[in-house]
Structure 1
Amino acid sequence: MRQPDGKPASLPRVYWFVLACLALGGCSPSERSSSASLAGEQGRGGAMLAYEHDVQLLLPQAQIVPRLQATREACETARFGACNVLRIEQGAGRAEITLRIAPAGVEPLVAMAAEGGEMGQRVTTAEDLADAVDDTRRRQERLQAQQQRLDQLASRKDISVTDLIALSKEQAGIENDLQALAQVAAGHQRRLDTNRVTLSFQPTGASSRSSHLSQAFSNLLDNLADGAVDALEKGSYALPFLILAFPLLMLWVWLWRKFVRRRT
């Protein structure tokens, strides 16, 4: 299209607006929501950290139960690696599932659970298990050394039957303690090798006012509990003075009555 002077006519502004809309439309809401992800974590450089993730997933009301069931099935069938369901809770319009999975499976599992919705608040925490692991190892080494000494005593030929029976009881006790510590150590290692993930499914567009009210009531109960504790603590300081003041008050009343009787 040319103008009368032979120069090409510029495109109307509406054309540029349409082109801009088409360019922006290439990124649909579903693609933007799917770009949000939550990667699993694991301690690096020898750090003994146990990671936990709390994720809020916003979904249409009709998709909450199917997404919960799909997440449970994916975990139980080890779709994204070894996984164990720890807890499931369903309420009016909401659901929650807690599971433990290897770090590599956290991201695909959360992405699958958030399909058709979007991710809300995400909180990741880590607990340092270095002291607990070291304490368990020291206790195991101490019990193993004690077990070896008892085995040496039990192998002596000059040991009496009574002493042998006593040694057998101590050996059995040490063996039970070692088995209990082995279970504790296995639990620590499981927490280090996997991530605990809690997925909270909530309806999209839920009233923020109701959430604020629930939070206000929750804070109210906490404030009432704290106030009651403070009142009891302050009252405990005043209690000894009240105990001492009561007999003094009774003595003052008795003296006052006696003085009044004398005057009459």
Structure 2
Amino acid sequence: MRQQDGQRAALFRIVGFILACLALSACSPSDHSSSASLAGEQGRGGAMLAYEHELQLLLPQSEIAPRLQATREACETARFGACNVLRIEQGAGRADITLRIAPAGVEPLVAMAAEGGELGQRITSAEDLADAVDDTRRRQERLKAQQQRLDELATRKDISVTDLITLSKEQAGIENDLQALAQIAAGHQRRLDTNRVTLSFLPTGASSRSSHLSQAFSNLLDNLAEGAADALEKTSYALPFLILAFPLFMLWVWLWRKFVRRRT
């Protein structure tokens, strides 16, 4: 009897210890309560990388609209450096703002926008623009060489009026192409010198639900794609046998009918 009481007491102590650990873990600070921060990025070592950031900020419902407005004003007034607002979207219980800012201004801007909030999903991606920049530069050099040759021909004294008119048209076309390429090159440089930042203001508690739903839909599409690919691959293996089996089947049917007719 005493042995059973001792076992029960030991069991109670173990259960109490487990409950105490669970209570301490529940009281410990959550990872989501950490202050939201996002540092700007720029290509290093000659890399031509255009960085983009997507960040979810969890705030009380009443704070979303004022925080969106404050973020917009900070960008438009260049509070943290040169900044341009690209897109603003407001919906039921949420708001999104997309802007382009120098890397040094990303962290203070995000810290201001997320003050008192929680960090949700964060995505940083980069696009390599090296090929696009090199292609634009090669096209500019080729057009400039053509422009120089046309300028030399236009200075010749023996050139006719008709040829001069033709040269003038070609020079105008090359000049237009060079201006278009200059705009493209300026756009590439702007993407290299700045970061594109998208801030999504969500009510507290919405991040986990949205992430679960997006993950579910993402997995659904992936599963459909994989299933379709597997089905096509298996069908491709079986297709030659089906093609070969069809005439054999028709031949068997013809022989069977002929055999039945002879018996009748």
Pairwise TM-score range, normalised by the shorter structure = 0.7 to 0.9
The answer to whether the Cα contact below 8 Å between 1:87 and 1:98 also exists between their aligned partners in 2 is yes
Quick check: 110-119 or 71-80, which moved more? 71-80
Q: Which residue of 2 aligns with 1:223?
A: 223
Q: Deviation per CA, 1:232-264, whole angstroms, max 9, x where unpaired? A: 354355445544543443233223212221122
Identity %: 91
Q: Which residue of 2 aligns with 1:166?
A: 166
Residues 58/207 of structure 1: CA separation in 2 closer, same or farther (3 Å cut): closer
1:155 Cα deviation (Å)?
Answer: 2.3
Residue 47 of structure 1: SS of its match in structure 2?
Answer: coil
5 Å-filtered alignment, 1:45-60, equals 45-60=45-60
Aligned length, in residue pairs: 234
1:152 Cα deviation (Å)?
Answer: 1.2
The answer to whether the Cα contact below 8 Å between 1:99 and 1:197 also exists between their aligned partners in 2 is yes
Letter of the structure 1 residue corresponding to residue 177 of structure 2: D
Which 5+ residue runs of structure 1 have no aligned equivalent? Answer: 1-28
Which 5+ residue runs of structure 2 have no aligned equivalent? Answer: 1-28
Query: Is 1:106 matched up with 2:99?
Result: no
Q: Which residue of 2 aligns with 1:185?
A: 185
Letter of the structure 2 residue corresponding to residue 197 of structure 1: V
Quick check: 242-251 or 68-77, which moved more? 242-251
Separation (CA, whole Å) in 1 of partners of 2:167 and 2:252? 72
5 Å-filtered alignment, 1:75-114, equals 75-114=75-114
Q: Which residue of 1 aligns with 2:126?
A: 126
Q: Which residue of 1 aligns with 2:195?
A: 195
1:216 Cα deviation (Å)?
Answer: 1.7
Residues 129/208 of structure 1: CA separation in 2 closer, same or farther (3 Å cut): closer
Residues 255/176 of structure 1: CA separation in 2 closer, same or farther (3 Å cut): farther
1:134 Cα deviation (Å)?
Answer: 2.4
The answer to whether the Cα contact below 8 Å between 1:34 and 1:115 also exists between their aligned partners in 2 is no
Q: Which residue of 2 aligns with 1:4?
A: none
Q: Which residue of 2 aligns with 1:153?
A: 153
Separation (CA, whole Å) in 2 of partners of 1:60 and 1:228? 43
Letter of the structure 2 residue corresponding to residue 164 of structure 1: L
Residue 191 of structure 1: SS of its match in structure 2?
Answer: helix
1:157 Cα deviation (Å)?
Answer: 2.4
Letter of the structure 2 residue corresponding to residue 256 of structure 1: W
The answer to whether the Cα contact below 8 Å between 2:83 and 2:102 also exists between their aligned partners in 1 is yes
Residues 262/160 of structure 1: CA separation in 2 closer, same or farther (3 Å cut): farther
Q: Deviation per CA, 1:83-108, whole angstroms, max 9, x where unpaired? A: 12222333333322211011222122
> Which TM-score applies when normalising by structure 1?
0.76
Residues 207/199 of structure 1: CA separation in 2 closer, same or farther (3 Å cut): closer
1:62 Cα deviation (Å)?
Answer: 1.9
Separation (CA, whole Å) in 1 of partners of 2:48 and 2:211? 36
1:176 Cα deviation (Å)?
Answer: 2.4
The answer to whether the Cα contact below 8 Å between 2:147 and 2:174 also exists between their aligned partners in 1 is yes
Separation (CA, whole Å) in 2 of partners of 1:132 and 1:37? 31
Residue 250 of structure 1: SS of its match in structure 2?
Answer: helix
1:33 Cα deviation (Å)?
Answer: 6.4
